[in-house]
C-alpha cells in the first residue's frame, strides 16, 4: 500500500529544504520497502497569492483531505504579502480545518552542534514542546473601532475551550508518562493574565490527578524562557498555549545550537484528517536563494511523518543518519549555521547517502 503525501514547499528557503526532505524520504522508502506517492502543489505560497489573490484554491480542503499526510516547507515573504495574511491564509487554515490540535516539537542536543550555552554537552537537552495548535492567543476574534482616528481601538480575544485545553494536556501527560523522567512542565502566566491562564492552571491540576506517576511543575512564561537558557536539562515535556508553545519551540532548539535542525508535527491524533509535518523555522527571506539553508529541520520532519504513518524503524533510521552525519563534523558539508561551508544540497545528500548505506 502506498502512502499519499501532499507536498507544499511554500516560500523562501522552504523551496530549498523541501527537495532535500524528499531526497531523504525516497532513500529511506527504498531501503525499507515503503511506497510513498508524492504530489506537489504550488499553493500555500506568496507567489501563488500574487497570481491568484489568495493563498489556497477554493477547493483546497477537498484536494488535501484524501492525503495520508501533508509535508510543508515554510510560509511568508513580507515584501510580497503581509505575514498575517500569508500565515492565516495557509498554515493556520490547515491546523484548524484539519483539527491538528497538537503541535509536537522535539528539542534535542545533537552530536557536533555547538550550543551557545557554555558547558552543555550533547545529551543535556532532550525535551518535547507540546503546543496547543488550534485556539488560544491565535484567535481571529476581535476587531477595530475608530480606525485611523486618535480614538482608535484594537481588540483581539484569547480563546480557551475546555475541550481544547484538556485534549492538549492529555496528550502531553500521556507523552510524559511514557518517557523515563515522567516530568511535565506547564507554561503559564496566571499572575498577569487573570482569566484564561488561571483556567489553564486549573485544568493542568485536574488532569494531573489522573497521572500520579508524572511529576508536574509550572512556570510563568517569563522565568520559563530564562530557565530554558540557564537550565535546559530541567525539562522533559513542556506544554503550552498556542503562543507560548510557539515561542518556546523556537527558543529550545536555538539553545541546542541552531533552529535549523528543529522539526515539528501538526497532528490530528484521531487520524480523521491528515497531519502536517514542517520544520519549525520559517521562510528566512534573508538567506533565501543562497543555497545555504540547513535542511535538517525538513528532513527530521520527514522522519516524524514516517513515525506517524507507522514506520518507526524508518523514522529512526533518518534520525540516526542525521546524527551520524553531524557527528562526522565535516565542514565541507555542514551548512554555515553549523559552522560549515557546505550547501543545503551537500548536507541533504550526505544524509540520504547515509540512510541508503
Ligand atoms: N515551517 C514553519 C513556518 O513556516 N512558520 C512560519 C510561522 O510564522 N509560523 C508561525 C506559527 O507556527 O504559528
Residues 6 or more apart whose CB falls under 8 angstroms from that of 267 comprise: 100, 101, 102, 103, 104, 275, 308
What band does 117 get if pLDDT is binned at 50, 70 and 90?
A: confident
pLDDT of residue 1: 77
CATH number for the domain that contains residue 120:
3.40.50
The answer to whether residue 320 is catalytic is no
Which is nearest to 266 in space by CA: 86, 108, 18, 95? 95
Domain boundary among 225, 256, 287: 256
The answer to whether residue 4 is catalytic is no
Q: Supply the angle between the helices 312-328 and 344-356 in degrees, to the nearest 10.
A: 120
Tell me phi and psi for residue 270, to 5 degrees. -75, -10
Would you state the torsion angle of the CA atoms of residues 9, 12, 14, 18, taken in this order, to the nearest 10 degrees? 80
277 and 210 in one domain?
no
Domain boundary among 256, 282, 313: 256
Q: Domain containing 88: what range?
A: 1-110+262-357
pLDDT tens digits for range 30-87: 999 999 999 999 999 999 999 999 999 999 999 999 999 999 999 999 999 999 999 9
CATH number for the domain that contains residue 335:
3.40.718.10
Ligand 1 atom closest to residue 278's alpha carbon, by position in its atom list = 1
Distance from the CA of 3 to the center of ligand 1, in angstroms? 25
Q: HEC string of 252-310? A: HHHHHCCHHHCEEEEECCCCCCCEEEEECCCCCCCCCCCCCCCCHHHHHHHHHHHHHCC
Pocket residues: Cβ below 6 A from ligand 1 = 74-76, 87, 246, 278-279, 281-283
106 and 88 in one domain?
yes
pLDDT tens digits for range 128-138: 999 999 999 99
Task: Give the distance, in angstroms, between the CA of residue 162 and the centroid of all CA atoms in the same chain.
Answer: 24
Looking at ligand 1, which residue's alpha carbon is closest to its atom 13?
246
242 and 181 in one domain?
yes
Tell me phi and psi for residue 94, to 5 degrees. -60, -50
Distance from the CA of 214 to the center of ligand 1, in angstroms? 31
Looking at ligand 1, which residue's alpha carbon is closest to its atom 6?
282
pLDDT tens digits for range 39-52: 999 999 999 999 99
51 and 11 in one domain?
yes
Looking at ligand 1, which residue's alpha carbon is closest to its atom 7?
282
Which is nearest to 168 in space by CA: 87, 104, 106? 104
The complex's ipTM works out to 0.92
Looking at ligand 1, which residue's alpha carbon is closest to its atom 8?
282
The answer to whether residue 189 is catalytic is yes
DSSP string, 23-67: HHHHHHHHHHT-EEEEEEE--SSHHHHHHHSSSS-TTHHHHHTTS
Q: 101 in helix, strand or coil?
A: coil
Domain boundary among 256, 283, 303: 256
Which residue among the candidates 138, 211, 236, 337 is catalytic per the annotation?
A: 138
Q: What rounded mean pLDDT belongs to the chain?
A: 96
Q: What domain count does the chain have?
A: 2
250 and 120 in one domain?
yes
105 and 1 in one domain?
yes
237 and 282 in one domain?
no
281 and 248 in one domain?
no
Amino acid at each position: 500500500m502506498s502512502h499519499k503525501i501532499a507536498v507544499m514547499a511554500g516560500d523562501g528557503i522552504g523551496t530549498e529544504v523541501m527537495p532535500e526532505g524528499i531526497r531523504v524520504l525516497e532513500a529511506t522508502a527504498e531501503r525499507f520497502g515503503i511506497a510513498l506517492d508524492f504530489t506537489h502543489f504550488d499553493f500555500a505560497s506568496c507567489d501563488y497569492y500574487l497570481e491568484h489573490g489568495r493563498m489556497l484554491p477554493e477547493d483546497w480542503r477537498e484536494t488535501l483531505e484524501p492525503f495520508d499526510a501533508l509535508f510543508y516547507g515554510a510560509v511568508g515573504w513580507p515584501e510580497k504579502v503581509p505575514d498575517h495574511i500569508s500565515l492565516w491564509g495557509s498554515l493556520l487554515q490547515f491546523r484548524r480545518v484539519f483539527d491538528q490540535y497538537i503541535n509536537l516539537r522535539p528539542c534535542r542536543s545533537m552530536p557536533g552542534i555547538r550550543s551557545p550555552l557554555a558547558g552543555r554537552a550533547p545529551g543535556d537537552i532532550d525535551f518535547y514542546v507540546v503546543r496547543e495548535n488550534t485556539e488560544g492567543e491565535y484567535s481571529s476574534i476581535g476587531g477595530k473601532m475608530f480606525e485611523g482616528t486618535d480614538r482608535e481601538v484594537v481588540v483581539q480575544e484569547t480563546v480557551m475551550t475546555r475541550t481544547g485545553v484538556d485534549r492538549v494536556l492529555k496528550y502531553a501527560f500521556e507523552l510524559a508518562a511514557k518517557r523515563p523522567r515522567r516530568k511535565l512542565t506547564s507554561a503559564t502566566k496566571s499572575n498577569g493574565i487573570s482569566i484564561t491562564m488561571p483556567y489553564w492552571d486549573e485544568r493542568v491540576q485536574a488532569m494531573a490527578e489522573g497521572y500520579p506517576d508524572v511529576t508536574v511543575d509550572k512556570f510563568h512564561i517569563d522565568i520559563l524562557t530564562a530557565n530554558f537558557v540557564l537550565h535546559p536539562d530541567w525539562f522533559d515535556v513542556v506544554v503550552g498555549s498556542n503562543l507560548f508553545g510557539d515561542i518556546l519551540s523556537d527558543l529550545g532548539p536555538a539553545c541546542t545550537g541552531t533552529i535549523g535542525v528543529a522539526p515539528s508535527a501538526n497532528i490530528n491524533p484521531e487520524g480523521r484528517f491528515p497531519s502536517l509535518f514542517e520544520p519549525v523555522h520559517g521562510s528566512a527571506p534573508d538567506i533565501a536563494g543562497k543555497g545555504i539553508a540547513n535542511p535538517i529541520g525538513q528532513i527530521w520532519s520527514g522522519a516524524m511523518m514516517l513515525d506517524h504513518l507507522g514506520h518507526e524503524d524508518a523514522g529512526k533510521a533518518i534520525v540516526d543518519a542525521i546524527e551520524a552525519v553531524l557527528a562526522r563534523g565535516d565542514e565541507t558539508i555542514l551548512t554555515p549555521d553549523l559552522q560549515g561551508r557546505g550547501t543545503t544540497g551537500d548536507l541533504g545528500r550526505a544524509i540520504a547517502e547515509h540512510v541508503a548505506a
